[in-house]
Every structure is written in structure tokens, then in C-alpha cells.
Structure 1
Amino acid sequence: MTWLVEKNRSWAEWAVTRILRVGPVPRHLAVIMDGNRRFARKEHQNTLTGHTRGFHKLTEVLSWCRDLGINEVTAYAFSIENFKRSKQEVDGLMDLAAEKLAELLEEKEKLSKHGVCIRILGNLTLLPERIQRLGAEAVLTTKNNDKCFLNLAIAYTSREEMSTAVGELCRGVSEGQIQGSDISEELLEKCLYTRGTPDPDLLIRTSGEVRLSDFLLWQSGFACMFFTKVLWPELTIWHLFGAIFYYQRHYHTLAEARRESLNVRQRMVEESDIEVCHTKFGEKVTAEHIAAQSLSRTERTDAFLEDLNKRTVSYLKEVCNKCE
């Protein structure tokens, strides 16, 4: 198998795995797979060889995550900024992506057996048609799988993601699907490419760089950040163990901060509903007015988000048909 590799573990690796699983284990791991090019130079290989080794490392990491109980992984595969690299490197990366997505589709029965859902995060329109088709087909083929999730950020930056989400909200208001007062942090969040997925609990960046490079900026507000100097193709399960141990040391502080943020967000929504009711009814606002406003807002936003999801699925189907 190419994507669902099976690795034999040493007794020490299994022992540490069991110990770590006694404590809190991140449900969602995000990775910035940095260092492929430096690895290639170090090994006196061409750049594409480094990226190929980086892909194989990702499949290993997915295997480690399954053993540890991490059921969602988001990998920063290709930034929009990467299009600025040399044509030779970009073309090589596109060919590699097409090859690996094609291999993934060949394994769709095994992906279904293991319940693996594939999501593509990013602006597909920026990619070559063959990548668009393969990516759309992978998403549609696996969308009903629900045991574990692999999110591939391709042609992605967080700024582009957020501006796209704002555009969707503006469209919803202009078309009368939602009202301006319905817009909130929660609704914006549900318009991001990552909608329907929990925020990452742990974010790992390799190669010694200590920055996010426009990756999951919105979603990582309360993630534990782990930066390591090891190059991505040289990452071992012991580096992952270290990252999870680091996460466990900071778990309670991060969990409390996340709870406080959610409480503040909920209060802001409630206050917005009360303000809308005061605008409509003046000082004679009752609990029934507020409940009715909350219900109507929920109905509007739910219908808007359902339409957004239908639009997304329709677009993916259109890509598959257009590129055949």
C-alpha cells in the first residue's frame, strides 16, 4: 500500500505509544513539512528527490498517528507562495502530486475499509486541470468515510482562505440568505476551507524555522506549537513522541484558554441577538423575542451553510466532469 503503510514497531516504540495514550493525545495534528530541499542538498540529490522522500515520510507519519490514536492530520503540501519557485521545481511538484493522488485513488477500496476521508484545502482553480480532477475525485470518493481524516493543503494560504470566506459571507448577504447581523466568528469559521473539522491541537514544523508561513492562522489560535530542527524527511517516531509529550505538558493551559474563548464567543452572539431585538422592539424586549431572534438566525445560517456545502460538492463534480 502506498498511502496506508504498515510499519513494524520495536518494543520500545510500542511501550512509549501505550504510555503516551494514557494522557491526552491530540485529536488533530497539523504539520508544516519543511526541509525537503535542504535534505536533497545534504544528500547531493535533486530537489524533486527531496520532495518525494518528504511524501514517503508523510505516509509514515500517518501510520504513527493511527497507532497513537490521532485521527486527523492536516499537511501543508503546497503553498500559493510556492508558485514563485522555479518552473522546473513547480512542474516537478505538480507531477508528483498527480502521481500520488492517482495512487491514492487506486487504493480507494482500502481507504474505505479504513474509513479514511481525504479533503483538499486550497484554491483548486490555481492548479493544473489534472490535479483539480484527481483532487476533486479523491474528495468525492472518500467524503462519506468518517474514521480518520487527511487534509492536504494544496495551493493554500491562510490569508486567501479567510478572504474567500469573507467573500462567501458577502455573497450570502447580497443574495438575502443571511443578514449582516448574522455574521460572527463562528459563521466565518464555518466558511473556511476547514469547515467541519476541529481546530488542530498540535502543530509541528520541522527544519528549525519558527514561523507559520501563512498556514492555518485562524485555526491555530489555541494549538500547541512544536518546532524542531530536524529536516522533514529525517523525522522519526521519537520526534513525534517528543512533540506529544510537549503537548501533554501544556494541555490544561491550552484547554482552559480555548474554553474561555468559546465562552466569550457565545456571549458575543447572545449580545448581538439582544441588540437586534432592541432595534426591532425598543425597550420592550422579552425572553421570547430573544429566543425567536436566535432561532431565526440559526435557521438562516444553517440554510446558508447547507447551500455553501452543496455549491462546493457541485463544483467538485463539475471539475471531475469537465476534466474527463
Structure 2
Amino acid sequence: MSWIREKELSLIERLCANVLKAGPMPKHVAFIMDGNRRYAQKCHVERQEGHSQGFEKLAETLRWCLNLGICEVTVYAFSIENFKRSAEEVEGLMELARQKFSRLLEERDKLEKHGVCIRVLGDLTLLPLDIQKLIAQAVLETRNYSTCFLNVCFAYTSRHEISNAVREVAWGVEEGLLEPSDVSEPLLDRCLYTCKSPDPDLLIRTSGEIRLSDFLLWQTSHSCLVFQSVLWPEYSFWNLCEAVLQYQLNHSSIQKAREQHLQESRRLQQESDQAWVRGQLQGAARREDAQLRRRLLQQCCARREERTQSFLRALESKRGDFLWGLCTVPS
């Protein structure tokens, strides 16, 4: 079955989609695709079949999202914690990943036609080398597409992601690209795996579990969270519409919380800059303080921005080199 489907919505689905799109629509939706194993148990089939049905449901859900104008989707495909499952189940999931990433590469023409950018977020070094290579190829081949985005969190947990961001910033300081005073919440945000994406507007978890399971903890602090009881392989267009409606009902409060957080971040940065300026002004004549303050504040902001941009370019290059290196590793 193709991952890049072109089937149109039914008439009643199109009508419902048009009604929803009259209100504020999420541009980025994240899914915790839970319930594959319970679905397999319910249907008296092997666990692997439940996971396989879950991947097929993802393809269908992506089509619904595109028809609703949702141009970015992030999915929790495999947690680092999943490595603790039985060796048989883990190997089954790895084999499924091989098949699906291989299928994506086979459909590169459709990916280009629809402008689908694939990003895989997580610690790829924890995966078998052949899967790392497939992922690197899919990411690099689609990196310049920008119509819609599919972010696959694979070998991922949020705590691991945040810890990695801290290590990246520490690397920047050690390399002399950053000053310790440059370290801030916005800088850490730009070192996360999700640095190229806006925070999700809406996060959906299926199966009835009411927890985030270490998924996008940083990014969803001001997102609408919707927990639905349906098992993931049984997810429907109407379940998605219900979740979008919940987002619309809470849109105003979500936007207000985001704006307040942004204002607070700016305030804290301004206070930090002004504290640095006060330190530089010690001993200066009082009548010169105002002029010096403005000049030093401008210098502080400009130099920090220059260091930050230099560091982020170096970080992007390091991550790109890792992916290109995987593509050149002999099979």
C-alpha cells in the first residue's frame, strides 16, 4: 500500500472538512499512535500485524490531514523505551521500519510531486546501521521539499532530546562558538531535534491513555492535548475532526498562553542583557551612562546574535555530515 495516497475524501467528509476550515485550523498536529498491541489482541492476530495495521492507518491519517490543510504532522513511531520490549517484538518493529522507509524511497517521485519533506527525529545511532542508512537517504532526498512535512520520532524520548540539546550547547561553548552567557531557553529550543518545526498546535493520543509518555514535553507546553479512547488502527476521519474541534474550542486560550510565554522570554533576555551592560558601566561617568548604555546594549545583542548564528550553522553542518556519512558507509 502506498504511503503517498491520492484518494479524495467522500462528499460528506469534504462537507465536514469545509465546515471545520471555517474556523481556526491547526497547522501542526502530533500523534501518539497508541493501541496497536491491544488492537492485535482484540482481533486475535499477532502483535506484528497490529503494528502493521498501525502503519497503514498512518498513511490514511496523513491524507486526512492534508485535506484539512494540516501541512505538518509529527508521529511517535518508536520510543527508546520500546527497546525494553521482547527481542522478537523489537526486531519485528525494526523490520517494519525497513519496509516502510524502503517504500518511501521507492515513491520518491510522489514525494517530490507533493513536496513532502521527511524528517526523522531521535538518536539514530541506537538503530541498526541499515535502517540508519535508509533514514539518512530519505531525509537527505526530501530535505528541500516544503509543501508538507512528516516528522517521524524514532528512537526518541523527550528527555533524551533535551539532554542532547544541552550537550550540543556545551559543545558550542567548548569549541569557542558560544559564550556561557549565551545559553538561554531560546537557544536550547533551537538545538532540539524539532528545531526546524513550529511547536504542535494539537497533540492527539489514542487508546484511552492519558499521559504523554515522554513525547514532545518541551514543545507541547502550550498545545491543545486531546486524548481519545479509540485504538490507533481503528482511528477514523471523524475522530480527527473531533480533535480539531477541541482545538478550535480552546484556540483563544492557547494563543494567549503562547503570547504570554513569548513576552516572558523576551523580558528575561532583556534583563540579562541589561545586567551585562551594568557590569560594563561600572566606573563610567554618570553623564556618559545613557550613551554608553545604548551603545553597549546594541553591541551585546549584535555579538550574541553573531555567535548564535555561527554556532547554529556549525551544528547544522555537523548533523548534515552525520547523515551524509551514513550514505557513504558500505553496505
TM-score, normalisation: structure 2: 0.96
Q: Residue 58 of structure 2 corresponds to which residue in structure 1?
A: 58
Residue of structure 1 aligned with 2:307, choices 290, 295, 300:
300
| CA apart distance, 1:281 | 2.6
| CA apart distance, 1:323 | 4.5
Equivalent AA in structure 1 for residue 313 of structure 2 = E
SS in 2 for 1:26: coil
Aligned residues: 324
**1:289 to 2:296 alignment:** yes
CA root-mean-square deviation: 1.0
Q: Residue 233 of structure 1 corresponds to which residue in structure 2?
A: 233
**1:255 to 2:255 alignment:** yes
1:120 touches 1:151 (CA, 8 Å); kept in 2? yes
Equivalent AA in structure 2 for residue 72 of structure 1 = E
Q: How does 1:136-285 map to 2 (within 5 A)?
A: 136-282=136-282, 284=289, 285=292
SS in 1 for 2:34: coil
Q: Residue 14 of structure 1 corresponds to which residue in structure 2?
A: 14
Distance in 2, matches of 1:20 and 1:134, equals 37
| CA apart distance, 1:60 | 0.5
Q: Residue 78 of structure 1 corresponds to which residue in structure 2?
A: 78
| CA apart distance, 1:280 | 2.2
**Segment drifting more, 274-283 vs 309-318:** 274-283
Equivalent AA in structure 1 for residue 327 of structure 2 = C
| 1:146-176 deviation line (CA, Å, top 9, x unaligned) | 1100000000000000000000111111111
Q: Name which one, 1 or 2, has greater alpha-carbon Rg.
A: 2
Distance in 2, matches of 1:8 and 1:49, equals 27
| CA apart distance, 1:292 | 1.2
| 1:97-118 deviation line (CA, Å, top 9, x unaligned) | 0110000001112101111000
Distance in 2, matches of 1:270 and 1:200, equals 27
Distance in 1, matches of 2:303 and 2:265, equals 19
TM-score, normalisation: structure 1: 0.98
Distance in 2, matches of 1:286 and 1:273, equals 10
Q: How does 1:9-48 map to 2 (within 5 A)?
A: 9-48=9-48
2:281 touches 2:293 (CA, 8 Å); kept in 1? no
SS in 1 for 2:24: coil
Q: Residue 309 of structure 1 corresponds to which residue in structure 2?
A: 316
1:29 touches 1:203 (CA, 8 Å); kept in 2? yes
Q: Residue 135 of structure 1 corresponds to which residue in structure 2?
A: 135
| CA apart distance, 1:276 | 1.4
Distance in 2, matches of 1:14 and 1:288, equals 58
Distance in 1, matches of 2:318 and 2:9, equals 44
Identity of aligned residues (%): 50
Instruction: Structure 2: give runs of 5+ residues left out of the alignment.
Output: none
1:129 touches 1:323 (CA, 8 Å); kept in 2? no
| 1:73-92 deviation line (CA, Å, top 9, x unaligned) | 00000000000000000000
SS in 2 for 1:22: coil
**Segment drifting more, 78-87 vs 278-287:** 278-287
Distance in 1, matches of 2:267 and 2:297, equals 13
